[in-house]
Amino acid sequence: MSEETQAFTINPRYRLQWEPAQNCHVLLYPEGLVQLSPTATEILQHCTQPISEQGLVATLQDKYPDADTLPQDVHEFLQQARAREWIKPAAETSGEAQ
Q: What is the Cα–Cα distance from 28 to 40, expressed in whole angstroms?
A: 14
Helix, strand or coil for residue 42?
helix
Q: What is the Cα–Cα distance from 16 to 35, expressed in whole angstroms?
A: 10
**Among the residue ranges 1-9, 22-30, 45-53, the one whose residues contact another protein (CB under 8 A):** 22-30
Q: Phi/psi of residue 43, each to 5°?
A: -60, -50
By CB under 8 A, the count of residues binding another protein is 36
Residue in 88, 98, 97 with CA at minimum distance from that of residue 6: 88
Tell whether residue 90 is a contact of another protein (CB under 8 A).
no
**Among the residue ranges 2-10, 21-29, 51-59, the one whose residues contact another protein (CB under 8 A):** 21-29
**Among the residue ranges 1-9, 34-42, 48-56, the one whose residues contact another protein (CB under 8 A):** 34-42
The residues near 70 (Cβ < 8 Å, ≥ 6 apart) are 57, 60, 61, 64
Out of 47, 56, 74, 87, which residue is the one contacting another protein (CB under 8 A)? 74
* Interface with another protein (CB under 8 A): 13, 15, 17, 19-24, 26, 28-37, 39-40, 43, 64, 67, 69-70, 73-74, 76-77, 80, 85, 96-98
